């Protein structure tokens, strides 16, 4: 059953890809990259209009830097524009995630009831495969996996970790889904395992730097394939309705 649904998903994605490539090629040398609005205030202008549709973006940062909020804001933007979304959580419970979101005025339950949004709680110790059935049923355009770092708890060796993640990202991208993966940074690098960044098409780095009695929060767009990005470190703030890039 799952295999059949997966097969169907692939066929739909392949058809969409063909339609899109003929739509994009107005003449031989012009290729328009389809963009997905990030929903983070001020971020799209740093990335030529948003993330590349059907790509994967790693949101990395230490604990408490805003990775979860960033991802929720991204999904909320989609829902407002009739793009269904799925939040796969390996850390917080679905209830906690919904409470995190409500603080910013994002009532995900409303969309859940309409069948446009779903939180899937994964117990990383039991199973790291995804039920694409649920993602296909919702016709999800946006998926978040928070966080992929926890996969390291079940998969010791880096090579199989990389392959597993690669498969997972591929299956989502084949469906035309734009996926955000969060990863915790510990020390140097962009991720806990040191493999996630090589699989992602884009990397956003969030930081919280101690400044006297407060912390300065920053965002850096490290890479977005097929995109001229605005380089450098940008200050960000958490407003009552989400994260905003200041400069």
Ligand X SMILES: Nc1ncnc2c1ncn2[C@@H]1O[C@H](COP(=O)(O)OP(=O)(O)OP(=O)(O)O)[C@@H](O)[C@H]1O
Q: Closer CB to ligand X, residue 141 or residue 192?
A: 192
Q: Closer CB to ligand X, residue 52 or residue 185?
A: 185
Q: Closer CB to ligand X, residue 19 or residue 96?
A: 96
Q: Is 25 left (phi over 0), alpha (psi -120 to 50) or beta?
A: beta
64 binds, among Mg ion, ligand X, none (CB under 5 to 8 A by kind): ligand X
Q: Closer CB to ligand X, residue 63 or residue 123?
A: 63
121 binds, among Mg ion, ligand X, none (CB under 5 to 8 A by kind): none
CB of 67 to Mg ion, least distance (A): 5
CA distances from residue 150 to 123, 128, 146, 182, 191 in whole angstroms, order as listed: 10, 10, 9, 10, 11
CB of 3 to Mg ion, least distance (A): 32
6 binds, among Mg ion, ligand X, none (CB under 5 to 8 A by kind): none
CB of 153 to ligand X, least distance (A): 15
Binding residues for Mg ion, per CB under 5 A? 67-68
Binding residues for ligand X, per CB under 6 A? 61, 63-69, 91, 103, 184, 238
CB of 133 to ligand X, least distance (A): 27
Q: Closer CB to Mg ion, residue 13 or residue 119?
A: 119
> Hey, what are 71's tokens?
């991802």
CB of 24 to ligand X, least distance (A): 34
């Amino acid at each position: 059953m799952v295999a059949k649904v997966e097969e169907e998903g692939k066929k739909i994605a392949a058809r969409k890809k063909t339609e899109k490539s003929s739509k994009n090629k107005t003449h031989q040398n012009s290729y328009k990259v389809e963009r997905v609005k990030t929903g983070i205030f001020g971020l799209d202008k740093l990335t030529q209009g948003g993330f590349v549709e059907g790509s994967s973006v790693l949101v990395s940062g230490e604990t408490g830097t805003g990775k979860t909020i960033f991802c929720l804001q991204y999904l909320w933007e989609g829902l407002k524009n009739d793009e269904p979304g799925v939040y796969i959580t390996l850390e917080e419970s679905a209830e906690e995630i919904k409470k995190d979101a409500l603080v910013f005025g994002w009532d995900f339950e409303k969309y859940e009831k309409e069948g446009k949004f779903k939180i899937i709680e994964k117990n990383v110790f039991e199973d790291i495969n995804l039920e694409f059935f649920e993602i296909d049923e919702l016709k999800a355009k946006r998926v978040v996996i928070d966080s992929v770092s926890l996969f390291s708890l079940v998969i010791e060796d880096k090579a199989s970790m990389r392959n597993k993640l690669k498969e997972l990202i591929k299956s989502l991208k084949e469906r035309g889904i734009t996926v955000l993966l969060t990863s915790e940074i510990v020390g140097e690098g962009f991720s806990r395992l040191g493999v996630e960044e090589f699989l992602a098409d884009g990397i956003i780095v969030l930081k919280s730097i101690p400044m006297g009695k407060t912390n300065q929060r920053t965002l850096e767009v490290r890479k977005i394939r097929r995109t001229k990005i605005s380089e450098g470190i940008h200050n960000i703030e958490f407003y009552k309705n989400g994260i905003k890039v200041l400069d």
